[in-house]
A and B are shown apart, each in its own frame.
Chain A
Amino acid sequence: MKALLVGEYREGKLLETTYELIGFAQQLKAEFELFLVASEDQLPQVEAKLYLADVNEAKEYNPALHKQLILEAAEKAGADTIVFIHSSNGWDLAPRVALALSAAQISEVVEIKEDGYLLPACNAKLRRTVKAATGKQVITLQAGAFMPAEQSGAPQVEKLSITATAQTEFLGYEQAEAGEVDLGKAEIIVSAGRGVGKPENVAMIEALAKALGGEYGASRPVVDAGWAPHDRQVGTTGQTVSPKLYVACGISGAIQHLAGMKKSEFVLAINTDKDAPIGEVADVLVVADIKQFAPALTAKLEG
């Protein structure tokens, strides 16, 4: 196998996920080369060939331009496997590259199996093992699923230039407004999930957080429904937290949520489904309806 790893760079910085790609290739014992759209002062520390396109020319993200560059790098590298991170840019680019190479795409790999790759299905309740039926394959890796490689060495750089025409115009980045709470600093977080049932019940979670001396958080569905503000959202698209105690209330445990809180020191989950994926990261899973359990725990703590 010969892999081309498509590293990630954003707002002037090389992203750490780039080392997860290298870690994956090393675990596979695959020969690999890298591709990056970046600036020369932000190169990964790795002993490997690196195809580099200048970020000022290619822009931080432009799918048609990046696709052309990746296809060129893949050809030069003689790669049969192109690897991305399953991120907002990775899942946008990977199918384009797969189609151009008539390759199968394997999305959001969490583990390498003897005969193929393991992927989550049905909200991580199931796992699917798949393999490509084509000579070439495009793979995206779930962020955080593979151990990042050690950072050492310097790449041998070969520069690539744009020849494609853009289909979309990149207008710029916008950072969501900073809210009043920084959950990243909280030592105790009590988060509300869909299991709270209705918007009024978020108050129940807030009360429990207060009784424990912490902040309240929320899962994405709760924020999307407008039951809690965005600055309370824990997960990939919200805040990444690592409190001493994390209480997951009626949160099933979607991958995006787990990625944002799995570094918590102690995780207490309350869920009616004892098979909920939150159990994978919880220290204690209480099988109960949060609508009954939260007020009872709050009353006892306050009593």
Chain B
Amino acid sequence: MNILVCIKQVPDMESRFKVAASGTWFEESDLAWRINEYDEFAIEQAVQLKTEVSGADLTVLSIGPARVKEALKKALAMGCDRAVNLVDEAAHEKDSFQIASAIAAFAKEKNFDLIFTGMQSQDRGSGQVGVLVAEMLGIPALTTAVEFAYADNSVTVRRELEGGLRAAIKASTPALVSCQLGLNTPRYPTLPNIMKAKRKEMLEIPVADLLKEEARLTTLSLAYPEKKGSAQILEGDVADLVDQVIGILKEKTAVL
């Protein structure tokens, strides 16, 4: 079995973001980078599947500049067999359609039986890339998976809908599965596996070799949200804050 997992490296969402001079993206210096949270569940599911099925081969792919190799190394340490970096210094300027086109061009004719992605990225959150890759390759996409099972060339997924409802769906491979948070428990790489990962293959392919499409979406600006809330901000010593909060609760609510 031939498995592909597609991951994105994103800034830590706890960061303080600064809008870049371009006005259309954030300043990338001074940010801590990590694997997109959803993609960690995708890697874990792919690694679990690889261990269940004998003779499986697992490739991890990421588009971006040199820094994404750190994310790829972690995926290798979690159990992927080889990494592919589609090298792109300006990945943040590409839209979802272009990113999906590049991945589909890479995956075409490689006969992946299963492709895993996160259901969305934490920075853009558009949730398009996985579905687009599947549509471009003409294979079914099973999205928002919170449960996954594979048997006899078919996958069964429980999709998370709203309000605690789930939908069970099934498809034959080849197929693409997009992973929701909580699908599994992503493993921490162990030290021996981190050492082993250093000897695994890391391929580099310039994105221009694969991507011929123009962007379909134009970003006009990036900005801080207008402050809609009129929250009263309280700062200071904890003991004082406690007294102030009790005063406010007594005055403004009927709960005390």
Interface residues of A (CB under 8 A from B): 10-11, 61, 63-64, 86-89, 91-92, 94-96, 98-100, 102-108, 115-116, 119-134, 143, 167-176, 187-188, 212-214, 220-221, 223-224, 226, 230, 236-240, 244-245, 252, 265-266, 268-269, 273-275, 277, 279-288, 292-293, 296-297, 300-301
**B216-A244 in contact (CB<8A):** no
**B181-A221 in contact (CB<8A):** yes
Interface residues of B (CB under 8 A from A): 11, 13-14, 16-17, 19, 26, 95-97, 119-120, 122-128, 131-132, 135-136, 139-144, 156, 158-171, 181-182, 185, 214-225, 227-229, 231-235, 238-239, 241-243, 245-246, 248-249, 252-256
Whole-angstrom distance from the CB of B212 to the nearest CB of chain A? 14
Measured between beta carbons, the chain B residues less than 8 angstroms from A281 are 229
Whole-angstrom distance from the CB of A13 to the nearest CB of chain B? 12
Question: Whole-angstrom distance between the alpha carbons of A126 and B156 in the complex?
Answer: 36
Whole-angstrom distance from the CB of B163 to the nearest CB of chain A? 7
Whole-angstrom distance from the CB of B188 to the nearest CB of chain A? 13
Contact of B242 among A133, A236, A297 (CB under 8 A): A297
Contact of B181 among A95, A168, A224, A244 (CB under 8 A): A224
Question: Whole-angstrom distance between the alpha carbons of A245 and B248 in the complex?
Answer: 12
Measured between beta carbons, the chain A residues less than 8 angstroms from B181 are 220-221, 224
Measured between beta carbons, the chain B residues less than 8 angstroms from A268 are 245, 248-249
**A121-B125 in contact (CB<8A):** yes
Measured between beta carbons, the chain B residues less than 8 angstroms from A288 are 235, 238, 241
Measured between beta carbons, the chain B residues less than 8 angstroms from A296 are 238-239, 242
Measured between beta carbons, the chain A residues less than 8 angstroms from B171 are 167-169
Contact of A130 among B13, B125, B220 (CB under 8 A): B220
Residues of B contacting A: mostly: mixed
Question: Whole-angstrom distance between the alpha carbons of A117 and B181 in the complex?
Answer: 27
Q: Lowest 3 CB-CB distances: which A-B pairs, in order?
A: A107-B126, A104-B216, A167-B140
**B131-A269 in contact (CB<8A):** no
Measured between beta carbons, the chain A residues less than 8 angstroms from B135 are 95-96, 99-100
Measured between beta carbons, the chain A residues less than 8 angstroms from B241 are 286, 288, 293
Question: Whole-angstrom distance between the alpha carbons of A288 and B139 in the complex?
Answer: 49
Measured between beta carbons, the chain A residues less than 8 angstroms from B11 are 122
